[in-house]
């Protein structure tokens, strides 16, 4: 099998590339703007990497789509602060650029595996989010934070419609707070410049206090990257065609913790296990901050986001196995050792 991964140097793309090279005989054709997360892949004879911008290298992409069997367009802006700061960039990349890729997949009859997001459920009031039944609920237009969610949701709807009316073969997967090594750059000092876990680790390493938006009462189901990649590999393999034109939540509903709990766990784990950073962690304070002051007027948050993973269990025979304490230890080992 030949796999095209656009955004291979990202968090998901780099881990997926390593897993494919380690566990299969598949060929990977890949593109991204840089290769710093791909050191384990670059010398491999089944990894064919091209540094380029998907917004510009359209001929290269067309030729690779024609050549490959499965296409994974993983390029996206996925940092919440940028949803408010640069919403048009989010729409350009997350919807417009990816729409071109999906249209190529339809044109050449290629299977596309598209990364949706848990954010498409928005402020759904269900206790568990179901791929088939849950309503996708977002806020008013002036809350620009929702441009990411609605861009992804519209891609989901277009892909589904192409599957129904143009015979596009697809699978959609919705990650619920995947985390682990190589998530973001913990040394980025800009508030909101990375996702919450790496933002907090960076705060601690720099001896900064941790800002908890809205008191950190929001709860999230954190899913370790190895569990997520395991599900994604089963989707790509598509044994007996089980993932054909299916949507999968991929998350860990048993690891549902608040953002405040996450911050407290990180501080205590660093104090207990990483002597080099223990003093800095001991001096960190958790500060409650207003969302408007931290992210800007266009931000809006969600208090709870729990996936139903029954479909992944039944169809993919998949189950998350890594507890949050174990996953955080692996993540901290990567960044701090």
81-115 pLDDT tens trace: 889 999 999 999 999 999 999 999 999 999 999 99
Q: How many helices (H) and strands (E) does the chain have?
A: 13, 13
**292 falls in which pLDDT band (50, 70, 90)?**
confident
Contact (Cβ atoms closer than 8 angstroms) between residue 286 and residue 212: yes
CB contact burial 128-149 (16+ within 10 A = b; e otherwise): bbbbeebebebbeeebbbbbbb
CB count, 10 Å around CB of 325?
11
CB count, 10 Å around CB of 158?
18
Quote the pTM value. Answer: 0.95
The per-residue pLDDT for range 39-66, each reduced to its tens digit, is: 999 999 999 999 999 999 999 999 999 9
The per-residue pLDDT for range 218-275, each reduced to its tens digit, is: 999 999 999 999 999 999 999 999 999 999 999 999 999 999 999 999 999 999 999 9
Q: Which residues 6+ apart lie within 8 Å of 76 measured at CB?
A: 7, 93, 94, 98, 115, 152
pLDDT at 193 over 70: no
Paired strand residues for 307: 129
Kindly state the average pLDDT of the residues 65-91.
94
**79 falls in which pLDDT band (50, 70, 90)?**
confident
Tokens of 261: 């709990």
Half-sphere exposure of 94 (CA within 13 A, CB side): 26
Tokens of 240: 């007996």
Q: Which residues 6+ apart lie within 8 Å of 105 measured at CB?
A: 65, 71, 111, 112, 168, 170
Per-residue pLDDT, 266: 97
Per-residue pLDDT, 192: 60
The per-residue pLDDT for range 141-163, each reduced to its tens digit, is: 999 999 999 999 999 999 999 99
Q: Which CATH architecture has domain 2-179+225-252+306-321?
A: 3-Layer(aba) Sandwich (3.40)
Per-residue pLDDT, 190: 67
């Amino acid at each position: 099998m030949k796999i095209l991964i656009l955004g291979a140097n990202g968090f998901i793309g780099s881990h997926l590339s390593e897993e494919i090279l380690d566990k299969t005989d598949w060929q990977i054709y890949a593109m991204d703007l840089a290769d710093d997360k791909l050191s384990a892949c670059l010398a491999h004879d089944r990894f064919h990497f091209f540094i380029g911008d998907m917004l510009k290298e359209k001929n290269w992409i067309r030729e690779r789509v024609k050549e490959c069997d499965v296409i994974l367009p993983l390029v996206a802006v996925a940092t919440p602060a940028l949803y408010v700061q640069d919403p048009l960039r989010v729409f350009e990349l997350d919807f417009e650029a990816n729409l071109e890729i999906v249209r190529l997949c339809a044109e050449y009859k290629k299977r596309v595996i598209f990364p949706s997001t848990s954010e498409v459920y928005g402020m759904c009031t269900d206790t568990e989010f179901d791929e088939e039944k849950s309503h996708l609920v977002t806020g008013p237009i002036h809350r620009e934070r929702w441009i990411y969610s609605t861009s992804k949701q519209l891609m989901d709807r277009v892909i589904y419609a192409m599957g129904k009316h143009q015979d596009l073969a697809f699978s959609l997967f919705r990650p619920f707070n995947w985390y682990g090594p190589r998530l973001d750059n913990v040394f980025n000092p800009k508030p909101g410049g990375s996702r919450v876990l790496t933002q907090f680790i960076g705060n601690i390493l720099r001896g900064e206090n941790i800002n908890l938006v809205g008191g950190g009462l929001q709860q999230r189901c954190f899913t370790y990257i190895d569990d997520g990649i395991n599900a994604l590999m089963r989707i790509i393999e598509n044994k007996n065609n089980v993932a054909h034109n299916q949507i999968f939540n991929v998350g860990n509903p048993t690891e549902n913790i608040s953002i405040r709990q996450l911050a407290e766990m990180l501080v205590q784990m660093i104090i207990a296990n990483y002597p080099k950073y223990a003093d800095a962690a001991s001096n960190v304070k958790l500060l409650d901050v207003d969302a408007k002051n931290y992210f800007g007027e266009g931000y809006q948050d969600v208090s709870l986001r729990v996936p139903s993973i029954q479909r992944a269990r039944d169809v993919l025979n998949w189950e998350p196995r890594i507890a949050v304490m174990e996953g955080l230890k692996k993540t901290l080992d990567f960044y701090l050792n």
